Amino acid sequence: MNDNKGVFGPIVRTSFLLMLLCGFIYPVAMTGVAQVLMPGKADGSLLYNDEGQEIGAELIGQSFTSEKYFHGRVSSIAYDGAGSGSGNYAPSNEEMIQRTKDSVAEWGQANPDTPVSDLPMDLVTNSGSGLDPHISPEGAYAQVPRISEATGIDQTDINSLIEKNTQGRELGLFGEPRVNVLLLNIDLAKMIE
């Protein structure tokens, strides 16, 4: 009648053992290994200025609004690293269409010397996570006239800065060439000073 009497003991012990192993021991061990092998990445790839103040993370985008700096991608979550994601809208969604129209209009006002027909799509669309710190090299080059006018820096020098900050495909095969907006703006700030 009580054939299940001895079954629950092993189930509870196994569950407890797996919780301890997967929920505590493994994460602590991996954190320790990461801290030893790659401490910068394990701590979030944080970037600091010359005074030692944290200015951002290399892997999370930031919102730049000044005409003197490069602007990144649109982020529907305001680059909040606490959670990632973006609206999963179809191209026919009215909200998506209006947001894109607003982004294109904002681009036209901020960059009057660059025609909207030359506007790379990555500057008016979200990344999948809403946190992407990168834009395409074309997205960076499209902003050069505005930045040159606002800073007085020659366009040739800004183009060289973009070339210096352009990362190629991973292992020469994977992904697309990209520019980290924060790193690019850090180098640009040194030229402005």
Nearest C-alpha neighbor of 189 from the set 19, 2, 49: 49
The predicted structure's pLDDT at residue 97: 87
Burial of 126 (0-12, 13-18, 19+ CB in 10 A): buried
Query: Does position 184 have pLDDT exceeding 70, yes or no?
Result: yes
With a pLDDT cut of 90, the percent of the chain lying above it is 40
Provide mean pLDDT across the span 183-189.
93
The confidence band for 77, taking pLDDT boundaries of 50, 70 and 90, is: confident
The predicted structure's pLDDT at residue 179: 95
| Other C-beta atoms lying within 10 Å of the C-beta of residue 111 | 22
Q: Which residue has 């809208």 as its token pair?
A: 89
- The span from the CA of 79 to the CA of 191, in Å, is 26
pLDDT tens for each residue of 131-156:
889 999 999 999 999 999 999 999 99
Phi and psi at 190, nearest 5°, equal: -65, -35
Provide mean pLDDT across the span 181-193.
91
Question: Model's pTM, two decimal places?
Answer: 0.78
Nearest C-alpha neighbor of 133 from the set 70, 40, 67: 70
Q: Would you say 124 and 136 are in contact if contact means Cβ atoms under 8 Å apart?
A: no
Distance of CA 49 to the CA centre of its chain: 19
Q: Would you say 186 and 180 are in contact if contact means Cβ atoms under 8 Å apart?
A: no
Q: Which residue has 């499209």 as its token pair?
A: 142
Please provide the average confidence, as pLDDT, over all residues in the chain. Answer: 87
The predicted structure's pLDDT at residue 20: 95
The predicted structure's pLDDT at residue 70: 94
- The span from the CA of 183 to the CA of 193, in Å, is 16
**Could you tell me the CA-to-CA distances from 1 to 11, 80, 183, 186 in Å, in that order?**
20, 57, 70, 74
The confidence band for 3, taking pLDDT boundaries of 50, 70 and 90, is: low
**Could you tell me the CA-to-CA distances from 162 to 34, 43, 142, 157, 185 in Å, in that order?**
31, 27, 11, 9, 10
Element (H, E) at 167: strand 166-167
Tokens of 18: 């797996």
